[in-house]
C-alpha cells in the first residue's frame, strides 16, 4: 500500500514539473525590433547559441531531477505490477478449525481448547 502512496505523490510532483519543463522548449519567441539584415542575422546567431545550450540535457539540474524522479516512478510501477498481494478475509471459523454451521456450544468448546494451548 505504501507503494501506491509513493506513486501518487511522485505523479503529483513529476507531471506538473515535466509539463512546465516541456513548455519552456515549446515557447515561441515573438520577434520585435528592427527588421534590417544585420539585426536579423544577429538574432539568428543568438538563437543558435540558445538552442545549443538547451541541447545539453545533462547540465540542467531540473532535467537531472526529473530523470531520476521518472526512473523511481518507473521502478515503483514495475514493483507494484510484479508484487502479488494476498488479501485474506478474517474468518474465525477457519481459525478455530470448525465448520460455519457449528453451534454456539461447539464454538465455545473449541475456543476454550485453543486458549489453553
What is the predicted pLDDT for the residue at 63?
A: 83
Whether the CB-CB separation of 70 and 14 falls below 8 Å is answered with: yes
What is the predicted pLDDT for the residue at 25?
A: 65
Report the chain (117 residues): mean pLDDT per 10 consecutive residues.
Answer: 88 91 65 79 79 55 88 93 79 81 87 82
Phi first, then psi, for residue 9 (nearest 5°) are -60, -45
> Rounded to an integer, what distance in angstroms lies between the CA atom of residue 7 and that of residue 78?
11
> Rounded to an integer, what distance in angstroms lies between the CA atom of residue 10 and that of residue 17?
11
Amino acid at each position: 500500500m505504501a507503494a501506491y502512496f509513493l506513486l501518487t505523490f511522485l505523479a503529483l510532483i513529476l507531471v506538473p514539473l515535466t509539463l512546465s519543463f516541456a513548455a519552456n522548449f515549446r515557447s515561441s519567441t515573438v520577434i520585435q525590433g528592427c527588421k534590417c539584415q544585420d539585426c536579423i542575422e544577429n538574432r539568428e546567431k543568438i538563437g543558435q547559441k540558445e538552442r545549443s545550450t538547451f541541447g545539453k540535457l545533462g547540465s540542467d539540474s531540473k532535467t537531472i531531477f526529473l530523470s531520476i524522479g521518472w526512473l523511481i516512478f518507473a521502478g515503483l510501477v514495475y514493483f507494484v505490477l510484479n508484487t502479488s498481494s494476498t488479501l485474506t478475509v478474517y474468518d474465525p471459523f477457519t481459525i478455530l478449525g470448525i465448520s460455519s454451521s457449528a453451534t454456539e456450544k461447539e464454538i465455545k468448546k473449541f475456543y476454550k481448547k485453543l486458549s489453553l494451548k
